[in-house]
A and B are shown apart, each in its own frame.
Chain A
Amino acid sequence: MSNFAKTFSSSLGKKLIMAATGLFLCTFLIVHLVGNLQLFKDDAGQAFNAYAYFMTHFVPIKVVSYLLYASIIIHAVYALVLTTGNRKARPVAYAVQAGSQNSPWTSRNMGILGTILLVFIVVHMSNFWWKYHNAELPYAKYEISLDDPTNITVSELPWDATRLVHSDYVDTQAGKQIVVSKDLYKVVAYSFQTWWYVLLYVVSMAALAFHLIHGFRSAFQTIGWDNKKYVPIIRFLGVWIFGVLIPLGFAAMPVYFYFFK
C-alpha cells in the first residue's frame, strides 16, 4: 500500500477526513446563512431570486458546490465506516454503561444527529435544489422604479422553456428596471406554509446545533490544534456561533414565513 493510502486508511487518517470535510461544511453554513438572509428582505423575493441565479450559474461557486456535495457524501460514508469499525472493536456490549457520568451527550450521539441531518439534506435539496434546476417553475417579473428602488411591482409569468433563468434590463422610457427570474422565492414561501415542514426544519436545526457543539471543537482536537491560547476561542465559536447563532438563524426562516407571510 502506498504511504498515502496507508495514511488515510489508518484510524487517524479517517478521522482527519471527517475533521476536514466537517470544517469545510461549517464554512459553507456561514455562506449559506448570510446569503439566505435575503429571504427577510421585503422585496417580493427579487434579491433572493437574483442570489439563487448567481449561486447556480457563477462558475467558481459551481466548482465549490460540487466540492460541497462530495464533502457531504464523504463525511457520511466515512462516518459509517468508522462506526462499523468502532462496533467491531467492542463485540460484547456492557450490560451497564454510565456514559452520562464521563462524557457529554452530544459527543456520544453524533451518529444519530448526523443521520437526522442527512435525511434533512435529502429532503431540503429535493425540494429546493432539484426543483430550481429541473421543475417547470413560474417566473417572477419585477418592475423596479429607477427613481425609487424600493418601489417594486411584481407579476407572475408562466413557465417557458425558452425563457432565460434570469434576465435584467433597464427600460429608460418607462423609467423602470425589469428583472425576470425563475421564482424560487415562491417555492420557499409556499413550502413554509406547511406546519410539519416547518417543524422538520426546526427539529433538524436543533440536531445541527448539537452536532456542531461537539463537532466543531472536536475537529480541531483531531487535527491536533490544542494550543492553550486558542482552544477557548475555538470552544466559544463552536458553542455560540456554530451551536447557537447559525442554527437559530436558519430556523428563523421557516418560522418567519409560517407566522408572518
Chain B
Amino acid sequence: MSENMNLTLKVWRQKNADTKGSFATYKADHVSPDMSFLEMLDVVNEDLIKKGDDPIHFDHDCREGICGACSLHINGRPHGPKHAITTCQLHMRSFKNNETIVIEPWRAEAFPVIRDLAVDRQAFDRIQAAGGFVSVNTGGVPDANNIPIPKVIADEAFNSATCIGCGACVAACKNASAMLFVSAKVSQLALLPQGQPERYRRAQAMVAQMDAEGFGSCTNTGACEAECPKEISITNIARMNRDYFTAKLFKEEEV
C-alpha cells in the first residue's frame, strides 16, 4: 500500500438557498490513497463532528456509480478529474500529496443550493414529469418481443437510457444547459416503437419545461458529453432538436 496523503480542502459552505456562501479551508491528513472521495469526506466530517463543528453536507446514495446522487464539482470539473465516473468512483490516488482540492456544488439557477455541497435537482424530475414517459393502457399483458426492434436501435436506446440524471452535464456546461439530460430522456423513448405515439408531444413538452426551469441554451461545446459519467453522446441533442423542429415546423402538431 502506498503512503498516506495530506491534503488541503477548500470547501463551499452555505447555510441554505437564501444565504450567501463562502469557502472554508480544512486539513485532511493521513488520507489513504485507496479511499473513495466520499470516504475521504466522511473522515473529514468525523473530525468536524468530534470538534463540535457542523459537518459538510453532500449528496450520496448507492456509492457504486449507478444512482447519480453524488455531485461535487472538484478542481473545476464535475465528479473530479477522471473520465466517465461519478464522485463515489473517484479515488484519492487520483490526487497528489499536499494538493489543494477545491470542492464546489453544481452551480445553476435551476439547481439551488440546499446546504453546502447539496443542491436541489428537482428541476430534472419536473422535466421528466412533463413528458418523459409512455402512457400504457390497462388490459392484458402484451407478448414479450411481439414488436421486433433492430439490435442497433435497441442498443442506441439503451445507451440513452443509461443517463442517471446526476446533473454533471449542467454543471460542466458553460451555460448551465440541461440539453444532454433532456435529450437522453427524449431519445430513449423516441427510438423505440412504444415511444412513438407521444414522440412529438414529448419533445415539445420537455423542452418547454427545460426552458421554464431556467437552464441555459446549448453552444455545442461538448463539455457535457466529456464529463458525463455514463458517456451519453451529444448525438442525442441533435436527435431531440430534430424531433422538436419537426414537431414545431413541419408536422403542425401543437402542445
> How distant is the Cα of A16 from the Cα of B10 in the complex, in angstroms?
41
The residue from B23, B109, B234 contacting A95, defined by CB atoms under 8 A apart: B23
Interface size on A, residues (CB 8 A): 41
Q: Does A60 contact B (CB under 8 A)?
A: no
Report B-chain residues with C-beta under 8 Å of the C-beta of A86.
Answer: 174-177, 216-217, 219
A82 at the interface (CB under 8 A from B): yes
Q: Which residues on A sit within 8 Å (CB–CB) of B16?
A: none
User: Is the C-beta of A157 less than 8 angstroms from some C-beta in chain B?
Assistant: no
By the criterion CB–CB under 8 Å, are B107 and A103 in contact?
no
> In residues 30-81 of chain A, which contact B (Cβ within 8 Å)?
none
Cβ 8 A contact of A102, one of B214, B227, B239:
B227
Return the contact of A10 from the options B110, B207, B216, B237 (Cβ within 8 A). Answer: B207
A88 contacts chain B at the CB level, 8 A cutoff: yes
B211→A223 contact, CB < 8 A: no
> Chain A's nearest CB lies how many Å from the CB of B207?
6
Q: Which residues of A contact B172 (CB under 8 A)?
A: 102
B: interface residue count bin = 35 or more
A185 to B20, CA, bound (A): 61
Q: Is the pair A91, B217 in contact by a Cβ cutoff of 8 Å?
A: no
Residue in A7, A88, A96, A218 whose beta carbon sits within 8 Å of that of B248 in the complex = A7
Instruction: A50 to B239: give the CA distance in the assembly, Å.
Output: 47
Least Cβ–Cβ distance between A98 and chain B, in angstroms: 3
* Stretch touching chain A among B69-77, B86-94, B193-201: B69-77
Does B241 contact A107, Cβ atoms closer than 8 Å?
no
Judge whether A108 and B234 touch: CB under 8 Å: no
Tell whether, in the assembled complex, residue A97 and residue B76 are in contact, meaning their CB atoms are under 8 Å apart.
Answer: yes
Q: Which of B208, B219, B238, B243 contacts A107 (CB 8 A)?
A: B219
- Measured CB to CB, the nearest residue on chain A to B218 is A15
Separation of A160 and B9 alpha carbons in the complex (Å): 76
The answer for the CA separation of A214 and B223 in the assembled complex, in Å, is 14
Given A102-B222, A102-B227; A11-B207 close (CB under 8 Å): yes
Contacts of A93 in B (CB 8 A): 107
**Are B216 and A90 within 8 A (Cβ)?**
yes
In the complex, the answer to whether A222 meets B75 with C-beta atoms within 8 Å is no
Question: Hey, which chain B residues are within 8 Å of A89, CB to CB?
Answer: 108-110, 175-177, 214-216
B25 within 8 A of A: no
Complex Cα distance A103/B172, Å?
10
Tell me whether A95 and B219 are in contact in the complex, defined as CB-CB below 8 angstroms, given that A3-B248, A3-B254 are known contacts.
no
Which B residues fall within an 8 A CB radius of A?
10, 23, 73, 75-77, 81, 102, 104, 107-110, 172, 174-177, 207-208, 210-211, 214-223, 226-227, 234-235, 237-245, 248-249, 254
A–B Cβ pairs within 8 angstroms, 23 of them: A10-B207, A10-B208, A10-B211, A11-B215, A16-B241, A16-B245, A86-B174, A86-B176, A88-B109, A89-B176, A89-B214, A90-B109, A94-B76, A95-B10, A95-B23, A96-B76, A97-B76, A98-B76, A101-B81, A103-B223, A223-B241, A223-B245, A226-B239
Q: Which 7 A-B residue pairings sit nearest by Cβ, starting from the closest? A: A224-B242, A98-B76, A89-B216, A86-B175, A96-B76, A102-B226, A226-B238
